[in-house]
Structure 1
Amino acid sequence: MQFMIFIGAAVSLVFNIPYAWATIIGRVRPNKVSWLLWSIAPAIGFFAALSRGWNWGQFPVLISFSTTALIFICSFMNRKSFWAIERFDVICGLVSLLALVVWGLTREPDLAICFAILADIMAAIPTIVKAWRYPETETWEPFVAGVFNAGTGFFAMSVWSFTSLAFPIYLMLVNGIIALVILRKKWWRVKAHD
């Protein structure tokens, strides 16, 4: 069943690389606060789980932080990709960073994952708010790929514990919520035309 995580990784790359390209050409405008912290929090989740030993169920989290880091870097390559950072974004970012600092002080893997999830939630809020107000500045595909990628990790898990399950479950939920927020306006438009 480990082949499923490679399929998930491939799906994630197939949808995230075009999103990165859309960022470079200015078709989407990612929130830099979200994408930076989305790179850091999964990295912490990955390395915290790795501290208990490697299993292939961690591979989707590795792909998650790699692709988010790519998109964050791409957001600096075109001025049209700029999204104004507001006070709310900064507050969410600071709370997210505080959660990461608390993790750094504890060094307990389960606690680290809890704080990594809290940090990631705080990083997601600015993008959820932006996508709710301006869905045209986002595309749904990388978030659906994120759900699929995180879900494939369950096929390869050999240890079923909080440490190995928490972050993949969280990634499925948050990516699903963001995809639905982006798609809701498109669905309403389609229903209005019927």
Structure 2
Amino acid sequence: MIGAKELFGLGALLLTFIAFFPYIRSILRGQTRPHAFSWMIWGASTFVVAMAQLSDGAGVGAWPIAVSGLITLLVAWLAYRRSAGMHVTRVDWAFLLLALSALPFWYFTETALPAVIILTGVDLLGFGPSIRKAYTHPYEENVAFFLLGAFRNAMVLLALEHYSWTTALFPAAVGVACLLFAALVAGRRLVTRSGLP
């Protein structure tokens, strides 16, 4: 018999696919132009956090995070392939280098929690290039995707089989970041539509 944790885990996994399928389709159609640097950072950190969560007993709550990490790496590849004409600034490079320099630190930690703290920070740094881009080009991002991401992370939290900082920090922080990013994009659309800078 399937329990509540498994149902939340399956629901979060289903939401992962529901969110990513139209997002990837919109990239292929040229409607969405994600920043490749952000998605590289998110893919690497998300997958490693899933491994740390599994090591701390997250169970089915880690499955959607692991799948999301793999699909995020696919989005990074698509974003890179379609990035002709993308303006990469020194700030974008700084975010990417900061994030990539933090990734090896998880190896040197003796428990999963320091790795999750570092990688959560890395993942949040991944929003940097996208925030910069969305501020000037808010119509090149997909608000619904990030709202679904926030809801999916709430379901991940409900699916966790063991609650600790190691298992809950990442989905909680990323869920809040997705909400804030969606609000930024929606707000910038309103501002640009009204003709303000």
1:33 aligns to 2:60 (yes or no)? no
Counting only pairs closer than 5 Å after superposition, residues 27-106 of structure 1 correspond to structure 2 as 27-53=31-57, 55-78=59-82, 83-106=86-109
TM-score by length of 1: 0.88
Structure 2: which amino acid aligns with 1:55? G
Equivalent of 1:116 in 115, 119, 141? 119
- Other-structure match for 1:7: 11
What residue ranges of structure 2 are gaps of 5+ in the alignment?
none
Give the 3-state SS of the residue equivalent to 2:103 in structure 1.
helix
Q: Distance in 2 between matches of 1:136 and 1:61?
A: 27
Closer/same/farther in 2, CA of residues 165 and 129 from structure 1, 3 Å limit: same
**What RMSD, in angstroms, separates the aligned Cα atoms of the two structures?**
2.1
Instruction: Name the stretch that deviates more: 55-64 or 120-129.
Output: 55-64
Closer/same/farther in 2, CA of residues 190 and 9 from structure 1, 3 Å limit: farther
Structure 1: which amino acid aligns with 2:66? L
Contact 1:34 1:123 in 2 (8 A): yes
Q: Distance in 1 between matches of 2:45 and 2:65?
A: 10
1:153 aligns to 2:137 (yes or no)? no
TM-score by length of 2: 0.87
Report the identity percentage: 22
Instruction: Name the stretch that deviates more: 45-54 or 126-135.
Output: 45-54
